[in-house]
Amino acid sequence: MRARRQLLAASVLTAASLAAACAKPPAPVQEVVAVRTAVLPAAPDEAVWNAAPEHVAKMIPQDLVEPRLLAPSTAEVRIRALTNGETVAFRLNWADTTKSDTPGPAQMVDACAVQIPQQNGPQPPAPQMGEIGRPVDVVYWRADWQAIVNGRGDSIRDLYPNAYVDPYPFNARPLVPGSPEQADMARRYAPARALDNNRSGPRTAPVEELVAQGPGTSEPAAPRGSTGRGIWAAGSWMVVIARPWPQDVRDGQRTSVAFAVWQGSQHEAGARKMRTGWIPLLAGGAR
């Protein structure tokens, strides 16, 4: 606890002193400090992110459960965090020379996730997606969802521009284009959509809220209003993921956070991912 207090003091000091000279970003810190700001930035490239100190989180392959990630890929993810008191926004930044945002057979997409224990306490649950009875909240962002939110259409030609497709049954007469009957018929030809699988779109947000109690158990969570936005440029992703603080985390308190990154070009998906362990997360470090 004493060590933690010292850490807290050090980080507050770092954040405060460097905020004065805003042109220069604060030096890297050993924990994730969510720095207080009036308005949270929606985009990952806004200047206000420079006010937050950077935490460089080393990543390790998921090697607890099969299928494991056998070849390590993303070595580190650079984290900054801001908070307006209600919501905490993380900016994840990692190097990825290939932008993978088109799903297909054997075509995985880039993705990342932020994980926070549902109940704050001295001992967080297992860092690999929690434990039975000790759930974790996950906010998951995907590059293909981002592309859809950015305007990619919901047709096969949006994925394969040269595709030729025979008419679909749900486009046939006497169904009136755009009618509820037609929409209903189209859903029946997309089983995952008919079952309201969050995974299946069409999407209005690039993030999905999940709750998990161990590997392979993630389920849709009750909506919390999480948001996200990612930009790929010059060989790296910058992704903002924002979510409300857990109820039991107040200003000045600590909880834990963990991150995961998937590189589509490396066929990473699901259990095949790079992850961090738990990292201390300080709510509302002074600015």
Partner 1 sequence: MARVYNWQLGRDMSYWYPEKRPQRQFAAVFDTNKCIACQTCTLACKTTWTSGKGQEYMLWNNVESKPYGSYPLAYDVRLLEQLDGQRWEGSRYAGRTIFEAAPAGERVLGWRPEQQDYSYPNVGEDDCAGQVDHGALIQVPHLSWFFYLARICNHCTYPACLAACPRGSIYKRQEDGIVLVDQGRCRGYQECVRGCPYKKVFFNPMTGTSEKCIACFPKIEQGVQPQCFVNCIGKIRLAGFLSAADQAKAENPIDYLVHLRKVALPLFPQFGLEPNVYYIPPIHAPLAFNEQLFGPGAGAAMAAYRGAPADRDLAGLLCLFGSTPSLVARWRRRGDLVSGLDEKASEIVRVPLLEPVHVRPAVDPTRQVVRTNCP
Q: Is the CB of 235 or the CB of 270 nearer to partner 1? A: 270
Q: Is the CB of 4 or the CB of 157 nearer to partner 1? A: 157
Distance in Å, CB of 191 to partner 1, minimum: 4
8 A C-beta contact, residue 137 and residue 246:
yes
- Sites of contact with partner 1 (CB under 8 A): 63, 65-70, 102-108, 144, 154-156, 159, 163, 165-166, 168-170, 186, 189-197, 199-201, 215-218, 267, 269-272
Calpha distance 282→50 (Å, rounded): 17
Chain CA centroid to CA 230, Å: 9
Distance in Å, CB of 133 to partner 1, minimum: 19
Strands (DSSP E) contained in 129-278 are: 136-142, 207-212, 219-220, 227-233, 236-244, 254-262, 274-275
Distance in Å, CB of 129 to partner 1, minimum: 11
Q: Is the CB of 119 or the CB of 217 nearer to partner 1? A: 217
Distance in Å, CB of 90 to partner 1, minimum: 22
Distance in Å, CB of 65 to partner 1, minimum: 7
Of 209, 57, 242, the C-alpha closest to 137 is 209
8 A C-beta contact, residue 93 and residue 76:
no
Cα angle for residues 218, 224, 226 (degrees, 5° grid)? 85
Cα angle for residues 58, 236, 88 (degrees, 5° grid)? 65
Distance in Å, CB of 219 to partner 1, minimum: 9
Calpha distance 223→260 (Å, rounded): 21
Chain position carrying tokens 């390790």? 60
Q: Is the CB of 107 or the CB of 119 nearer to partner 1? A: 107
Distance in Å, CB of 137 to partner 1, minimum: 17
Q: Is the CB of 244 or the CB of 270 nearer to partner 1? A: 270
Q: Is the CB of 36 or the CB of 142 nearer to partner 1? A: 142
Calpha distance 166→158 (Å, rounded): 16
Calpha distance 164→71 (Å, rounded): 37
The Cβ-side half-sphere exposure at 165, using a 13 Å CA radius, reads 12
Q: Is the CB of 4 or the CB of 68 nearer to partner 1? A: 68
19: alpha, beta or left, given left = phi > 0 and alpha = psi -120 to 50? alpha
